[in-house]
């Protein structure tokens, strides 16, 4: 049965071999995971954030472990647009997953310039607009917390890269994520990815200082998964179910069961983030786990599961 | 001139615990066996390379066996793997054996103490770039600070077995005798009698010990002892000497400064908090000078290091 399961999904008009991505910032620029799995088994790939100019990133410590999670404050360290195009795109071009390049910047002009350039590259299926990074002084999350700002940047980037899919990555650190999602969709977003990390802090009680040099960082990992599932479901019910906009769901996924929770809650595809640090081959295992689940449940096509939460109380527990 | 010890094919491997032996108040040695693909991968493990060990499924010791200062830490959940280098690696037939020397400092190493013979541990490696052995050197000085010992013990073995022409001297420092991660007697009398650290003696290498409180060896900083030793060896040609060092960053900074002042090559093994160890997370940044300019850039401890040239690092 399992070989007859169809894992392919339609994602804003793209036909993906399966609904599993690796999440931006946890899988390198291209084939860094290649020693641990066949990256071509993925449905999609989102690169590390790219900015117009190279960025050194924040001083260290940049990470700290927490219970069932971790904080990071990398600060969008990256090689910059030109080196990315020269060195990494040729590698991405040879890979079969749909490639979304995560784009960040300090000004709308920078986002537009990077998106415009990337839209001329064959290897790029879409752009993931990072308006949710909590770890930079300028840009990042500051574009993603006010609906008016979200409209402006989404429309500007969509105009500059009209021939590529635009996926807007949302922060959970907002009052109403559905309002942000609606603003993005109404301004031209073809897809949404959520959630980015939660702004958080860990204190060293010996030195009485925040552990991270950046003071705060983004919380990721299994700790945030139930909140992420809830927020995906909220955005699905309140916004995207009606508009048909696909959601790339993420936040603490480490097993196929976790991925299925997101899909049932309304995600058309899922991304594996922090867990790749612990088990760099886990995305491939999750693809196989989805296949087994569908086979066991007699589900011919996984896309049938998207947003298929049943109504009513759960009497199984 | 430099022989780059590039990383061999890395992967996730399962190792079997053969023994887990306490050698000091907080120090233990874990003996591991790799077979099949793991044996082949780790047979190529170079001194200074490292591994990422998953200890999340290891049990905690009973509360009464947990040091009081680690009780809070013992209640922490583990998510990430922990980086460790090896103190010794031996390939024998189709097996590779590794010695992991560790100090109990937190929730992961506390769990490590409960591993026993027959347990399996998931290990990613070999990772990073090891020490580079330069063919034109006649003297190699190994400068250890506290838990910086393992990669230099491994290097001591490689230098003496593969580069017998190089004279090796080891320096080991810590706050006190109890914080030296070595076996055997480390007190003052032993030092005065010329008793050397057995981990280095077994390779025919003399060792010089320094402790801040004088409870073992020379009283004072190991870097002062290194400086003094170099000052006394007036006949040394700087070009023919190399210093290899691993330990706390303040010590590495001083070692690098001494080396630079003397015109001696120096390689330091750096440590950073890291989530993955394989270049994905970008958290283990080490600030490095760009070609003697005032510009700096961040390199990654995991991929570009953990061994760096002492001249390039901007120490914290």
Q: Are residues B253 and B138 in the same domain?
A: yes
Q: What does the DSSP assignment read for A1-43?
A: -GGG-B--EEETTEEESSSEEEPTTSS-SSSGGGGTS-GGG-S
Q: Are residues B103 and B197 in the same domain?
A: no
Q: Are residues B108 and B65 in the same domain?
A: yes
Alpha-carbon gap, residue A75 to A213, rounded angstroms: 11
Where do runs of H (alpha helix) occur along chain B?
Answer: 36-43, 71-74, 107-112, 149-162, 188-192, 198-201, 222-232, 249-262
Query: Does residue A215 sit within a domain?
Result: no
Max Cα–Cα distance, chain B, nearest Å: 56
Query: Which residues, listed in sequence order, are joined to residue A133 by a DSSP beta bridge?
Result: none
Chain B residues whose beta carbon lies within 8 Å of the beta carbon of residue A67: 76-77, 79
- For B115-172, how does the pLDDT look when each residue is reduced to its tens digit (9 = 90+)? 999 999 999 999 999 999 988 999 999 999 999 999 999 999 999 999 999 999 999 9
Domain count, chain B: 3
- The domain that contains A160 carries what CATH number? 3.20.20.70
Nearest CA in chain B to A70: B79
Mention every residue, 6+ apart, whose C-beta is less than 8 A from residue B257.
Answer: none
Query: Does residue A313 sit within a domain?
Result: no
Alpha-carbon gap, residue B225 to B239, rounded angstroms: 21
User: Which B-chain residues 1-30 have CB contacts (< 8 A) with chain A?
Assistant: 9-12
Pick from B78, B281, B316: CB nearest A72: B281
Inter-chain touch B12–A280, beta carbons under 8 Å: yes
Query: Does residue A121 sit within a domain?
Result: yes
Query: Which residues, listed in sequence order, are joined to residue B52 by a DSSP beta bridge?
Result: B83, B124
Query: Which residues, listed in sequence order, are joined to residue B13 by a DSSP beta bridge?
Result: B123
Domain count, chain A: 1
Q: Of the candidates A69, A98, A32, A37, which has an alpha carbon nearest to the alpha carbon of residue A254?
A: A69
Residues of A forming the active site: 133
Alpha-carbon gap, residue B179 to B24, rounded angstroms: 8
Residue A234: what are its φ and ψ, rounded to 5°?
-65, -50
Alpha-carbon gap, residue A78 to A114, rounded angstroms: 13
- pLDDT tens, position by position, for chain A (317 residues)? 566 899 999 999 999 999 999 999 999 988 889 999 999 999 999 999 999 999 999 999 999 999 999 999 999 999 999 999 999 999 999 999 999 999 999 999 999 999 999 999 999 999 999 998 777 767 777 788 899 999 999 999 999 999 999 999 999 999 999 999 999 999 999 999 999 999 999 999 999 999 999 999 999 999 999 999 999 999 999 999 999 999 999 999 999 999 999 999 999 999 999 999 999 999 999 999 999 999 999 999 999 999 999 888 888 87
Query: Does residue B52 sit within a domain?
Result: yes
User: Which A-chain residues 214-273 have CB contacts (< 8 A) with chain B?
Assistant: 221-222
Inter-chain touch B285–A72, beta carbons under 8 Å: no
Alpha-carbon gap, residue A120 to A86, rounded angstroms: 13
3-state secondary structure (DSSP) of residue B120: strand
Query: Does residue B69 sit within a domain?
Result: yes
Alpha-carbon gap, residue A151 to A130, rounded angstroms: 14
Chain A residues whose beta carbon lies within 8 Å of the beta carbon of residue B10: 35
Alpha-carbon gap, residue A91 to B208, rounded angstroms: 51
- For A256-302, how does the pLDDT look when each residue is reduced to its tens digit (9 = 90+)? 999 999 999 999 999 999 999 999 999 999 999 999 999 999 999 99
Alpha-carbon gap, residue B267 to B247, rounded angstroms: 12
Chain A residues whose beta carbon lies within 8 Å of the beta carbon of residue B80: 65, 70, 277-278
């Amino acid at each position: 049965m399992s070989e007859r399961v169809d894992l392919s999904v339609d994602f804003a008009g793209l036909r993906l071999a399966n609904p599993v991505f690796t999440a931006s910032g946890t899988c390198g620029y291209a084939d860094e995971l290649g020693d641990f799995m066949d990256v071509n088994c993925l449905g999609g790939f989102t690169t590390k954030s790219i900015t117009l100019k190279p960025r050194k990133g924040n001083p260290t410590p940049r990470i700290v472990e927490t219970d069932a999670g971790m904080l990071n404050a990398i600060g969008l360290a990256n090689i910059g647009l030109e080196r990315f195009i020269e060195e990494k795109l040729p590698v991405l071009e040879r890979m079969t997953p749909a490639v979304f390049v995560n784009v960040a910047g300090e000004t709308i002009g920078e986002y537009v310039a990077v998106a415009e350039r990337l839209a001329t590259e064959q290897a790029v299926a879409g752009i993931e607009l990072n308006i949710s990074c909590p770890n930079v002084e300028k840009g990042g999350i500051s574009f993603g917390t006010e609906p008016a700002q979200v409209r402006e940047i989404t429309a500007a980037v969509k105009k500059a890269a009209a021939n590529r899919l635009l996926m807007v990555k949302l922060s959970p650190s907002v009052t109403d994520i559905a309002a942000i999602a609606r603003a993005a969709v109404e301004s031209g977003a073809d897809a949404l990815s959520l959630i980015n990390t939660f702004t958080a802090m860990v204190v060293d009680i010996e030195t009485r200082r925040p552990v991270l040099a950046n003071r705060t960082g983004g919380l990721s990992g299994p700790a945030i998964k139930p909140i992420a599932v809830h927020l995906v479901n909220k955005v699905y019910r309140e916004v995207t179910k009606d508009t048909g906009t696909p959601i790339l769901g993420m936040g603490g996924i480490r097993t196929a069961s976790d991925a299925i929770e997101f899909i049932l809650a309304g995600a058309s595809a899922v991304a594996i983030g922090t867990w790749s640090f612990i088990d760099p081959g886990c995305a491939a295992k999750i693809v196989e786990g989805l296949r087994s689940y569908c086979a066991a449940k007699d589900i011919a096509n996984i896309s049938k599961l998207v947003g298929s939460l049943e109504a009513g109380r759960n009497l199984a527990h | 001139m430099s022989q780059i010890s590039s990383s061999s094919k890395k992967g996730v491997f399962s190792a079997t615990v053969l023994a887990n032996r306490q050698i000091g108040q907080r120090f233990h040695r874990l003996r591991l066996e790799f077979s099949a693909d793991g044996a082949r991968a780790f047979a190529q493990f170079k001194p200074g390379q490292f591994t990422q060990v998953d200890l999340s499924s290891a049990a905690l010791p009973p509360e009464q066996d947990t040091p009081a200062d680690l009780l809070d830490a013992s209640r922490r959940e583990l998510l990430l793997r922990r980086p460790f280098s090896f103190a010794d690696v031996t390939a024998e037939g189709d097996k590779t054996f590794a010695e992991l020397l560790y100090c109990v400092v937190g929730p992961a190493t506390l769990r490590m103490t409960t591993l026993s013979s027959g347990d399996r541990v998931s290990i990613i490696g070999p990772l990073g770039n090891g020490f580079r052995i330069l063919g034109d050197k006649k003297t190699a000085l190994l400068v250890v600070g506290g838990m910086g010992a393992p990669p230099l013990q491994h290097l001591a073995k490689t230098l003496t077995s593969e580069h017998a022409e190089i004279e090796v001297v080891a320096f080991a420092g810590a706050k006190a005798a109890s914080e030296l991660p070595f076996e055997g007697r480390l007190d003052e009398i032993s030092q005065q009698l010329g008793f050397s650290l057995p981990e280095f003696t077994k390779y025919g290498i003399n060792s010089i010990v320094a402790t801040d409180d004088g409870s073992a060896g020379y009283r004072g900083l190991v870097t002062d002892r290194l400086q003094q030793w170099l000052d006394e060896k007036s006949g040394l040609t700087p070009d023919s000497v190399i210093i290899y060092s691993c330990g706390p960053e303040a010590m590495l900074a001083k070692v690098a400064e001494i080396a630079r002042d003397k015109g001696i090559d120096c390689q330091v093994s750096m440590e950073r908090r890291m989530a993955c160890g394989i270049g994905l997370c970008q958290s283990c940044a080490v600030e490095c000078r760009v070609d003697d300019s005032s510009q700096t850039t961040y390199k990654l401890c995991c991929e570009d290091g953990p061994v760096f040239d002492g001249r390039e690092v901007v120490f914290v």
